[in-house]
């Protein structure tokens, strides 16, 4: 004999697409990067490398000494937090699962779609453009920290300075890596603005609600 199912419909729980460790390190990293860039611009303004300075409102620290204090404090946060994220990424398989594979054909296709504002976005799956950008910013992060350490302690870390080809080259590399990171953040934020539904999952970890309505396919447009 069969009985009718009278129990109320089960509330479907949304799956976790960003683990807690990735979210925590991401937001701490975003805070550290903002502090480092703004205080770095104040330090740069005290002895500009090029024929321009950064506007005062975009700097942090108030004066050279204050900016150096901010820069070094945020550097330790970025370094420790970055090492935790990298350890999880490499040892926990996060990079292998989410950043790989990265195929030239996928990249060309996604780049073409992105430029035509037709790139699809699936919750929890990074497209080839995102994968390339995330890998590039990781390399820039390593470069900015290594070049920064070599211009901070050029005597103690002279082998690192030599690796860059001298103090002046290391200073330029530090600036260029900073510019690359700022460029990444600008594109990254533009993508979040174009697909705002990616933001809440980066806070709560759970896939967006509308993803379930579309029976798990949750395709949406992303530039």
Residues in contact with ligand HEM by the rule CB under 6 A: 22, 26, 29-30, 33, 98, 126, 134, 137, 181, 184-185, 188-189, 192, 198-199, 202
Contacts of 9 (CB under 8 A, 6+ apart): none
Instruction: With H, G, I as helix, E, B as strand and everything else as coil, classify residue 10.
Output: coil
Provide the b/e sequence for 194-218 (b: ≥16 CB within 10 Å): beebbeebeeebbbbeebeeeeeeb
- What is the smallest separation between the CB atom of 199 and ligand HEM, expressed in angstroms? 5
Q: How far is the CB of 5 from ligand HEM (least distance, A)?
A: 36
Q: Which is nearer to ligand HEM, 67 or 74 (CB)?
A: 74
Closest approach, Cβ 134 to ligand HEM, in A, equals 4
Query: In the complex with ligand HEM, which residue's Cβ is closer, 156 or 219?
Result: 219
Identity of the residue, 49 or 199, whose beta carbon is nearer to ligand HEM in the bound complex: 199
Strands of the chain (E only): list them: 119-122, 219-222
Minimum distance from CB of 179 to ligand HEM (Å)?
13
Residue nearer to ligand HEM on the CB measure, 67 or 137: 137
What are the angstrom distances between the C-alpha of 78 and each of 23, 28, 30, 162, 181? Answer: 14, 8, 9, 24, 13
């Amino acid at each position: 004999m069969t009985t009718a199912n009278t129990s109320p419909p089960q509330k479907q729980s949304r799956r976790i697409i960003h683990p807690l460790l990735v979210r925590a390190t991401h937001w701490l990293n975003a805070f550290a990067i903002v502090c480092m860039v703004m205080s770095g611009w104040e330090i740069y303004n005290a002895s500009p490398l090029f024929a321009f300075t950064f506007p005062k409102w975009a700097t942090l620290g108030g004066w050279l000494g204050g900016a150096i204090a901010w820069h070094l404090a945020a550097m330790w946060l970025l370094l420790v937090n970055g090492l935790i994220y990298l350890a999880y990424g490499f040892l926990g398989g996060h990079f292998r699962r989410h950043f790989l594979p990265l195929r030239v054909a996928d990249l060309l296709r996604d780049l073409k779609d992105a430029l035509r504002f037709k790139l699809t976005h699936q919750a929890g799956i990074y497209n080839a453009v995102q994968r390339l950008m995330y890998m590039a910013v990781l390399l820039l992060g390593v470069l900015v920290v290594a070049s920064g350490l070599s211009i901070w302690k050029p005597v103690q870390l002279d082998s690192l300075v030599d690796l860059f080809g001298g103090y002046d080259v290391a200073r330029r590399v530090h600036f260029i890596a900073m510019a690359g990171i700022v460029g990444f953040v600008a594109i990254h934020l533009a993508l979040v603005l174009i697909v705002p539904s990616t933001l809440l999952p980066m806070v709560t970890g759970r896939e967006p609600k509308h993803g379930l309505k579309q029976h798990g396919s949750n395709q949406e447009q992303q530039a």
